[in-house]
Structure 1
Amino acid sequence: MKKNIFALVSSVAVLGTALAGCGGGQEAAKPAEQPAGNTQTQAPAAAPAAEKKPQVLKMNLHSEPPTADPGIAEDTTSGAVILATFDGLTRIGGDEKPHEAAAESYTVSDDKLTYTFKIRDHKWSNGDPVTAKDFEYAWKRALDPKTASNYAYQLYYIKNGEKANKGEAKLDDVGVKALDDKTLEVKLENPTPYFLELLAFRTYFPVNQKVVEGNEKWAGEAATHVGNGPFKIETWEHKSKMVLVKNDNYWDKDNVKLDKIEFSMVEDENTELSMFENGELDWAGAPMSALPTDAIPALKEQNKITTKPIAGTYWYKFNTEKPPFNNVKIRKAFAFAVDRQGLIDNILQTGQIPATGAVPPSMVLNPNGYFKDNDLEAAKKMLEEGMKELGISKLPAITLSYNTSEAHKKIAEAIQDQWKKNLGVDVKLENKEWKVYLEDLHNGNFQVGRMGWLGDFNDPINFLELYKDKMGGNNDTRWENPKYKELLNQSALEGDLDKRKQILADAEQVLMDDMPIMPIYFYTQSWVQNPNVKGVQMTGLGDVDWKGAYIE
C-alpha cells in the first residue's frame, strides 16, 4: 500500500510513514501508521446548528509531503493530502467498503473482466468538468515509463498495463478507454475481486490533463494544484505549514462539514504533543505523526490514548547487492538476532505484534510465522556460515539508515545494541530527512534501511508483490527470485480461494527463506485527540479521511 514514514504507530511510511502501501513519519504503528479494523473513530454526523463552533481542524504533518500528485505519491503523508483533495471512482466508507464516488454507477460483465463506469456530473477545483478522459489519461500517465511512477504496478490488473509500463506494448493498448465524456470502460487481465477497493487508491485517481501538461510542477504548490476531492490546497508554505479548505466544486460538498484543515509541519514528536496539550493542535500522533514513546505510559494511565491495529508491517530492508548482505545466511543472522517482543515492551508500548513474516494478521497466510524471534543460536550459526561462504573473517562496516523520527531512532538504537551484543557487530546509524531518505533507498544508497508498509487493500498480494521485480518501484532490496515471481503469477490465475492462499503462502515462504527484508512488527496506530473532533475516519489500512469530520 503505502510507505509509512513512522515507526511506532504509523506506515507509509507511523513511526514510519510508509509507502501505500506505505513509510515516513511514525511508522512503528500503520503503524505503519494505523491499526486494522473499522477505524472510523466517530460516526459522521451533522454538527449541531446552535452555537456551531468554527469548523477548523488543526493537525500536524510530521514531515513535508514530497508531492500532492496521485500518480507519483508513494508515502502516507502525501497520500493523506491526496485523499483529501481527490476522489477516485470509489471511496472507502465508514463500513470499510468501497462506495461510488466520482463514478455514480457501474456495471460488470459476466466474466468479471470488463467494468463500465458512469462518471457523475462534477467539477475540478478550478471549475473544469471532470470527464472519463481524465481517468484514462491519469492511468496511462502513471503507466508511462517516462513518468517513473513507483506505484505503476498497482495498474497491472488492467489489460496490458504491465506490458505498457515495461515498454512491451503501447499505451494505446492499455485496457482503459473513455467511450464518451461520462463513460469509462476498463478491461482487466484477470478477474480481480478487490478491484473496486483498488479504485479508491490514489494511483487510480484522475488528474486534469490540461493542468498537468501545462506545468510539470503543478502538484507542488497551492496556486497550481487542482483536485476533485472534498478539499483543496489554499496554502502550502514548504516545511512550515499547509492549509486545506472546503472545495465548493466538490460533488458531495453538502456532507463536508469542515471549512478548513490547518497543518503545521513539526518533526519533533515532543513538541507536537506539547502543542496538543496547549490547545494549538486538535490531534497528535498517528496517522500523520507519532506520539513520543516516553509519553505513552502516562497517556495510557490517563486514558487519553486511542490505539488501533492496522494492516501494516514495519521491516528493515537489506541491500542484497552490497556485501555482506549479498549473502542470505548473513541476512538471516541479522534477522534472527533481534528481540522483537523486547522492542514492543520497552519502546513501542502500544500493542504491536512481533513480525516473523511479511503479511499482517488481517490477511495472514501462516499464523505461526517463518522463523523464531530472538533465535540467537541460529543467528550465530548463520553468521559463521555466511562469513565462510564470503571468505571473510571480519564483517565490513555496517550502516543502518532511518528517516527522522524519535521512534525510528530508538528502534534503530535498540537493534544496534542487540546486534552488537548478540553478534559482536559494530553498526553505524544514519539519519536522513524523509524525502532524501526515500531517494537514497530507491537508488540503492544504503545497506540496511527501515521502512513500513500499510496495505493498499486487504489482500496478501499487496505485500508480496512489492518484491516481485528486482527494479520494482518499491522493492529497493535489488532481490529477485524466479520461483517467487512464478508463484505470484500463478496466484493471479487461480480462481479457487483456498488454492490461491496456499500459493501465496508458498511465495511468502520463499521470501522469508531468502530474507531480503527483516520483518520487525505489525502495526498499531496510536493518537490523542480533542474530544470535540468527530467523524474522522481511520481505516484498517491506516488511511485517514477527513471528508466527514467536524468540530462538535
Structure 2
Amino acid sequence: MKLKSGIKIAGLALLSGLVLAGCGKQSSSESSKKEISWMQINSLTTMDPSKATDQISGQTQNGTNEGLLRMSTDNKVIPGVAKNYTISKDGKTWTFNLRKSKWNDGSAVTAQDFVYAWRRTLNPKTASQYAYIFDHIKNANEVNTGKKPLSALGVKAEGKYKLVVTLAKPQSYFKYLVAQSYFMPQKASYVKKFGAKYGTTANDLAYNGPFVLKGWNGTNDTWTLVKNKNYWNAKAVKLNKINFQTVKDPSTGLNQYQSGKLDVVTLSGQQVKNYKNNKEFASRKVASTWYLEMNQRKIPFFKNKNIRKAISLAIDRDQLANKVLADGSVAAKGFVATDMSLHDGKDFADASYVKGAVSQNLAQAKKYWAKGMKEEGKKSVSFTLMGDDTDQAKKTNEFVQSQLSKLPGFKVTNQNLPYKTRLQRSADGQFQMVLSGWTGDFPDPITFLSLMTSHNTYNNGRWGNKQYDKLIANAEGKDANNTDKRWDDMVQAEKILVNDEGVVPLYQQVTPQLVKSNIKGIQFFPTAPIWDWSKVTIK
C-alpha cells in the first residue's frame, strides 16, 4: 500500500520536549470518556475500498469496516465476518461461512455484499489500481479487461451467509488478502445512491466494522471514529471514540502531546535520539520501502541501464537513514523489506541481497554516467524530482538532489506536493522522477515483487523485464505449491530488479512514537493494515 511520509523535529521543540518528557499533563481524553486522540501526518484521501491506494485510507477502513477475516499478531488471521472457512484439497475453492452481522444502519451483511464489492473493484469502469490483486480468482483478468461479464467472476453467494470463491490457481496467501480493505464488503444501495460521491465523505457509505467514521467532509484534516453499536463484536470494543488530527509541523505535535491534546504522536530526526529511553517511546519497524522511480514510459533517457545504475550508486543510503532521517529507519537492502518473510530460517531480504546494487560507489557511478551520457548523446540533463510536502520527504528529496549533483551535468529540481496530488500524478505518469513508498499488504515477498511486473498499475515508471515477469508468473503459477521453488523464483526476481535498477531502493521506514502510558492494547502489524484499534483500552 502506498506510504505516507514522516516528519522531523525542530531544535527548540527538542529542548522543550526533553524538559517535558514523562511529565506532561494528563490527556484531555480522560479514561472515563474512553476516547483517545491520535496524530496522523497526512490527511485521509478516500473511503472507497475499490479506489483507496494509500496507507491512511487503509488504516481507517480497517477501523470502520471488516472483511471475511482480520489480521492478527504473528502473521495470523482471525475470524471476521466469516466465522470459519474451508479450503478444497486442490486449494482452488474457498468456502466462507458468514456470521449474522450488521451494517451500522442495522441491515444484514450478506455474502452478496462481498460479491458486489469484488465485482465493482474489477469492473473496468471503476479503474481500481488494486484490481490486479484479485488476479487469482477465476476469470478476474478477463472481467477486469472487459472480455467477460462481471457475473463470470469466480465468487458466488450460496444463500445469505455462505460465500464460495473459486480460484484459477492455488494461492496460499489468499487468507491474508480477504483480511484487507480492498476485499471488504460494500453495500450496493449506498454505491448506487451516492454514485461518484461514494466514499468521498463520512456520510457517503455504510460501515460494518468496530467503528463508524464521523466528521470527515473529504478535505478536512480532522476526523473521528465512533464505536459502532451494531458491530457484531461491539462488546469487545472498549473505546467510544478515536479523534484523528493531521499534524505536519513537528513542534505542534509535540506541544499538543505534552499539553494532553494528543495521546499518540509520531517522532522523527534528532527527537528520536532524545526520547528513545522514555517509557512512552515506541519504535515500530514497518515492512515498507521508500524508493526512487524514474519515468521510463515517457522518458527514453531513463531506459538506459547505465544511467539508472549511476543514479543508484551515487546515493549513500546509510547517510540518508542514519544522518538525514535519523529516526530509526535503515538503509534498504533491496526492494522487499526486511523482517517480513522467512524461509528455512533466512530472511528474504538477506537471501536476495546484492550489496553492490544498493551501496554507494561514486567512482563507479561516474563511469556508468559517462558511458550512459555518451550513449544518449547528452552533455547535460535536467529533471524534476517529485515528492510529498512533508518535512521528511523534503529532506529526502534534498539529500537525493545533492547526491545526484555529483554526477557531471545532472541538474535535479525538487517538487514537493500534497500527498494526494503526488499519488495521483504518479499513477497518471505525470512525473520525471518520484520518491515513492510501499508498505507490504501481507507478509509475503510477492506483495512487493508483483508491483514491478510490466503491466502492474503500481509500476508507475513502467520498468519491464521479461525474465522478471516469467519468474513472478512461475511463483504465482506452476511453482505456487512448491515452497522451495517459489522462494527461489522470487529471490531470482528480486536480484534481477535490483541489478537492473528498475527502481532505486533507498530506505526501510521505522515509525517512532510517543504513546501515553495509560493507553494499552494498540495492535501494530509490520504489514497492512498497520494498526488495529478495536482492542485499545485506557487504564
* TM norm structure 1: 0.88
Number of the residue aligned with 1:234: 214
Paired amino acid for 2:223 = M
Where in structure 2 are the equivalents of 1:276-287 lying within 5 Å?
276-285=257-266
Q: Report the Cα offset of residue 523 of structure 1.
A: 2.3
- Counterparts in 2 of 1:329 and 1:303: CA distance versus 1, 3 Å: farther
2:239 corresponds, among 253, 258, 262, to 258
Residue 243 of structure 1 corresponds to: 224
| Cα shift at 1:228 | 0.5
Tell me how far apart the structure 2 counterparts of residues 272 and 384 of structure 1 sit (CA, whole Å): 46
Q: Which residue number in structure 2 is paired with residue 310 of structure 1?
A: 286
Q: Is the 8 A contact 2:212 2:227 kept in 1?
A: yes
Question: What is the Cα deviation at residue 270 of structure 1?
Answer: 2.7
What is the correspondence of 1:17-166 to structure 2 with a 5 Å cutoff? 53-166=32-145
Measured against aligned partners, the alpha-carbon deviations of 1:13-45 in whole angstroms (never above 9, x if no partner) come to xxxxxxxxxxxxxxxxxxxxxxxxxxxxxxxxx
* Deviation of the 1:52 alpha carbon: 5.4
| One-letter amino acid of the structure 2 residue matched with residue 166 of structure 1 | T
For 1:111-510, list aligned pairs within 5 A: 111-216=90-195, 217-237=197-217, 238-285=219-266, 291-300=267-276, 302=278, 304-320=280-296, 321-361=298-338, 362-363=340-341, 364=348, 366-369=351-354, 371-395=357-381, 397-421=382-406, 423=408, 425-470=410-455, 472-492=456-476, 493-494=478-479, 495-510=481-496
2:74 and 2:490 map into 1 onto residues whose CA distance is: 27
Contact 1:7 1:452 survives alignment (8 Å)? no
TM-aligned CA distance change 1:251 to 1:73, over 3 Å = same
Deviations 1:84-122 (A, max 9, x none): 010000001234310111001111111111011111101
**Cα separation, partners in 2 of 1:107 and 1:298, compared to 1, 3 Å:** same
d(CA) in 1 for partners of 2:114 and 2:62? 16
Moved more, 190-199 or 129-138: 190-199
- Residues 323 and 274 of structure 1, relative CA distance in 2, 3 Å threshold: farther
Cα distance, 1:87–1:179 mapped onto 2, change above 3 Å: same
TM-score normalised by the chain length of structure 2:
0.90
Q: Once the 2 structures are TM-superposed, how far is the Cα of residue 226 of structure 1 from its aligned partner?
A: 1.0
Cα pair 1:355 1:369 within 8 Å, conserved: no
Q: CA deviation at 1:308?
A: 2.5
Do the aligned residues in 2 keep the contact of 1:309 with 1:524 (CA within 8 Å)? yes
Offset of 1:262 from its aligned partner?
A: 0.8
**Which shows bigger deviation, 212-221 or 330-339?**
212-221
> Which SS does the other structure have where 1:219 is aligned?
coil
Give the SS at the match of 1:325.
helix
Q: Secondary structure at the match of 1:317?
A: strand
Deviation at 1:128, TM superposition (A): 1.6
Equivalence for 1:28: none
Q: Equivalents in 1 of 2:248, 2:446: separation in Å?
A: 33
- Partner of 2:410: helix, strand, or coil? coil
What does the per-residue CA deviation read over 1:368-409, in whole Å, with 9 as the maximum and x for residues that have no partner?
A: 3251411112211111111111111222x1211111111111
Task: Give 1:526's aligned residue.
Answer: 512
Partner of 1:6: 5
* 1:550 matched to 2:537: yes
Specify whether residues 514 and 169 from structure 1 end up closer, same or farther in structure 2 by C-alpha distance, changes over 3 A only.
Answer: farther
Partner secondary structure for residue 526 of structure 2:
coil
* Residue 526 (structure 2) aligns with: 540
3-state secondary structure, aligned to 1:242: strand
Shift, 1:276, TM fit: 1.1
Shift in Å, 1:351: 3.3
How has the CA–CA distance of structure 1 residues 541 and 500 changed in structure 2, closer, same or farther, with 3 Å as cutoff?
same
1:193, 1:457 → 2: CA distance? 12
Superposed CA RMSD in Å reads 1.8
Greater shift, 456-465 or 264-273, is seen at 264-273
Offset, 1:446: 0.9
Over 3 Å counting, the alpha-carbon distance change for 1:273 and 1:424 in structure 2 is farther
* SS of residue in 1 equivalent to 2:303: coil
Residue 324 of structure 1 aligns to a residue whose secondary structure is: helix
Once the two structures are TM-superposed, the CA of residue 467 in structure 1 deviates from its matched residue by 1.5
Look up the SS of the partner of 2:101 in the other structure: coil
Q: Which one is further off, 183-192 or 215-224? A: 215-224
Deviation string, structure 1 residues 518-539 (Cα, Å, up to 9, x no partner):
1011222211111111111111
Aligned residues: 503
Post-superposition shift, 1:303?
5.3
Distance 1:97 1:121, change over 3 A: same
**What is the distance in 1 between the residues matched to 2:222 and 2:286?**
28
| Superposition deviation, residue 249 in structure 1 | 0.6
Q: Distance in 1 between matches of 2:515 and 2:123?
A: 42
CA drift of 1:272 comes to 1.6
- Please give the alpha-carbon distance, in whole angstroms, between the structure 2 residues aligned to 1:469 and 1:167: 20
The 2-side partners of 1:280 and 1:380 are apart by 51
Name the residue aligned to 2:24: none
Whether the 8 Å contact between 1:5 and 1:451 is mirrored in structure 2 is no
Residue of structure 1 in register with 2:13 after alignment: none
> Partner of 1:215: helix, strand, or coil?
helix
Q: Can you list the C-alpha shifts for 1:409-458, whole angstroms capped at 9, x where unaligned?
A: 11111121111135553211101001111111111111111111111111
Partner secondary structure for residue 52 of structure 2: coil
Asked if structure 2 preserves the Cα contact closer than 8 Å seen for 1:63 and 1:239, the reply is: no
Question: Contact between 1:96 and 1:540, CA under 8 Å: does it hold in 2?
Answer: no
Segments of 5+ residues of structure 1 without an aligned counterpart are: 10-50, 286-290
CA distance in 2, matches of 1:295, 1:449: 27
Q: Read off the aligned partner of 1:273 and give its amino acid letter.
A: L
Rounded to whole Å, the distance in 1 between the matches of 2:423 and 2:202 is 23
Distance 1:372 1:317 in 2: 14
Find the aligned partners of 1:172 and 1:295 in 2 and give their Cα distance.
54
Q: Which structure is richer in relative contact order (CA contacts within 8 A, separation 6 or more)?
A: 1
Amino acid paired to 2:291: W
Distance in 2, matches of 1:52 and 1:488, equals 50
Could you tell me how far apart the structure 2 residues matched to 1:256 and 1:331 are?
A: 50
